[in-house]
């Protein structure tokens, strides 16, 4: 292939555009090698991204068939001329790579390379890859004509853009990993806050039904209806957590009615007396209402599960433009300082995150033998 100055520029430009069109690292690498091979009219092109252990994290070739690639075997190590390009960081242009003192022979099934042009790909001071070409196609059938100084300059330009495309692809992949990690932790909190409590109540209600079934079938039947209702709610919460919806009840009934209903259910399901008061409350921004509901649920759940309380009192009242939630039990209490952040205990961590996530504050007032009070204040809007 030979280019006049115009078509040469057009070819370079379309190669650069192709590189920036992809976001996945592997696609970017493939486009780079294919473009390099085409632009410089070579038989083979390859691009290696080094790992930290003397091998290549990725190695992409163009001009080699899949069958041939398989037959060659494992990825090369960073040795010989490949290593020199990565470590000495300068271009290598050789008329016959096999005559170079660093040449160590080809693996079985490797094509025979003669003329060779290699360039490091740099991001600042860091070498993030090596791009190389071999066997320039020659108009004359006999022998090879080799890569020129001009080819080297063209490849250098390509390598600079390859560096940008590679760095972007890495940033993109990194940010996607972060998003996935955040999403996982959100889901874990959501499942913990909403679903595990419903299942806990469900278990207790089912036990109550089992205990009543001989003695008082009518009441057992009532408990079983409750089991069905709790199971339906758990399923709904699970669905909401997975698709990141607000609990439907919040939109339909508002915070106060939602809390009141849930607390009535808990009062019936547990031996402790559970009460609710909502005084002078005014609707809050949606995110704050959701946070208040979740914190109330977790605080209630902790009180009913850990405290051996006789009473749990929940209140929501207006303060300034915002509101204060208080969940207070007369149970065993505990030492908040002794609850590690790490490990299995998600509840307290999750409550703090929820509060700070909407610009609010959370205080835990607890001491062994003195009960526990959780207070959350949100600013309103
Ligand atoms: N109201 C309470 N009364 C007595 N102890 C409590 C109360 N709330 C929390 N605790 C103690 O603090 C610990 C941590 O609570 P946290 O909600 O963070 O985790 P958890 O309830 O053990 O587990 P998870 O909430 O992740 O299911 C509890 O294990 C319990 O010992
Ligand atoms: Mg808990």
Instruction: Give phi and psi for 334, each to the nearest 5.
Output: -165, 175
Decide if pLDDT at 28 tops 90. Answer: no
Q: Which CATH number fits domain 250-381: 3.40.50.10420, 3.30.70.20, 1.20.950.20, 3.30.565.10?
A: 3.30.565.10
Q: What is residue 246's predicted lDDT score, i.e. its pLDDT?
A: 67
Nearest ligand, measured from the Cα of 304: 1
Calculate what percentage of the chain has a pLDDT beyond 90.
41
Q: What is residue 140's predicted lDDT score, i.e. its pLDDT?
A: 65
Q: Which CATH number fits domain 5-173: 3.30.470.10, 1.10.357.10, 3.30.450.40, 3.40.50.300?
A: 3.30.450.40
Q: What is residue 1's predicted lDDT score, i.e. its pLDDT?
A: 45
| Contact status, residue 166 vs residue 28, Cβ threshold 8 Å | yes
pLDDT band for position 341 (50/70/90)?
A: low
Structure confidence by residue, pLDDT tens digits, 147-172: 999 999 999 988 888 888 888 877 77
Residue nearest to atom 28 of ligand 1 (CA): 306
Structure confidence by residue, pLDDT tens digits, 269-279: 788 999 999 98
Of 222, 315, 302, 299, residue with least CA distance to 260: 315
More confidently predicted of 76 and 111: 111
Domain range annotation of the chain: 5-173, 250-381
| Contact status, residue 64 vs residue 111, Cβ threshold 8 Å | yes
- Ligand 1, residues 347, 368, 371: which to mutate, most atoms within 8 A of Cβ? 347
Helix spans in 213-285 (H): 217-243, 248-269
Q: Tell me which of 175-179, 218-222, 336-340 is least confident.
A: 175-179
Of 235, 237, 233, 226, residue with least CA distance to 204: 226
Query: What is the rounded distance in angstroms from the CA atom of residue 175 to the CA atom of residue 167?
Result: 12
Q: What is residue 245's predicted lDDT score, i.e. its pLDDT?
A: 63
Q: How far is the CA of 297 from the centre of ligand 2 (A)?
A: 10
Q: How far is the CA of 296 from the centre of ligand 2 (A)?
A: 11
pLDDT band for position 242 (50/70/90)?
A: low
Decide if pLDDT at 185 tops 50. Answer: yes
Query: What is the rounded distance in angstroms from the CA atom of residue 32 to the CA atom of residue 212?
Result: 73
Three-state SS string over 278-322 comes to EECCCCCCHHHHHHHHHHHHHHHHHHHHHCCCCEEEEEEEEECCE
Q: What is residue 307's predicted lDDT score, i.e. its pLDDT?
A: 95
- Using CB distances shorter than 6 Å, the residues near ligand 1 are 192, 302-303, 306-307, 329, 331-334, 339, 344-348, 372
């Amino acid at each position: 292939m030979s280019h006049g100055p115009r078509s040469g520029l057009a070819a370079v430009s379309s190669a650069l555009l192709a590189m920036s069109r992809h976001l996945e690292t592997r696609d970017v690498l493939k486009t780079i090698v294919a473009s390099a091979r085409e632009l410089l009219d070579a038989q083979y092109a390859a691009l290696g991204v080094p790992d930290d252990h003397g091998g290549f994290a990725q190695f992409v070739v163009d001009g080699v068939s899949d069958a041939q690639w398989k037959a060659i075997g494992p990825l090369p190590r960073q040795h010989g001329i490949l290593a020199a390009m990565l470590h000495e960081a300068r271009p290598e242009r050789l008329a016959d790579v096999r005559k170079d003192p660093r040449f160590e022979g080809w693996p079985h099934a490797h094509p025979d390379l003669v003329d060779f042009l290699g360039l490091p790909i740099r991001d600042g001071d860091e070498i993030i890859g090596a791009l190389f070409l071999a066997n320039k196609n020659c108009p004359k059938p006999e022998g090879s004509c080799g890569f020129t100084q001009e080819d080297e300059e063209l490849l250098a330009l390509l390598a600079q853009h390859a560096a940008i495309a590679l760095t972007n692809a890495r940033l993109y992949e990194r940010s996607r990993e972060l998003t996935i990690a955040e999403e996982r932790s959100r889901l874990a909190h959501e499942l913990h806050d909403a679903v595990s409590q419903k299942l806990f109540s469900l278990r207790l209600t089912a036990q109550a039904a089992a205990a009543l079934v001989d003695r008082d079938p009518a009441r057992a039947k009532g408990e079983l209806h409750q089991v069905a209702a709790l199971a339906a709610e758990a399923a709904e919460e699970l669905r909401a957590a997975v698709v990141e919806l607000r609990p439907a009840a919040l939109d339909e009934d508002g915070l106060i009615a939602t809390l009141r209903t849930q607390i009535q259910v808990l009062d019936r399901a547990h031996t402790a007396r559970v009460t609710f008061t909502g005084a002078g409350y005014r609707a809050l921004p949606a995110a704050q209402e959701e946070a208040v509901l979740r914190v109330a649920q977790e605080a209630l759940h902790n009180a009913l599960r850990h405290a051996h309380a006789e009473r749990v009192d929940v209140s929501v009242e207006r303060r300034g433009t915002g509101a204060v939630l208080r969940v207070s039990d007369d149970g065993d209490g505990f030492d908040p300082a002794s609850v590690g952040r790490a490990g299995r205990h998600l509840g307290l961590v999750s409550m703090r995150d929820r509060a700070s996530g909407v610009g609010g504050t959370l205080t835990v007032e607890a001491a062994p033998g003195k009960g526990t009070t959780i207070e959350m204040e949100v600013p309103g809007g």
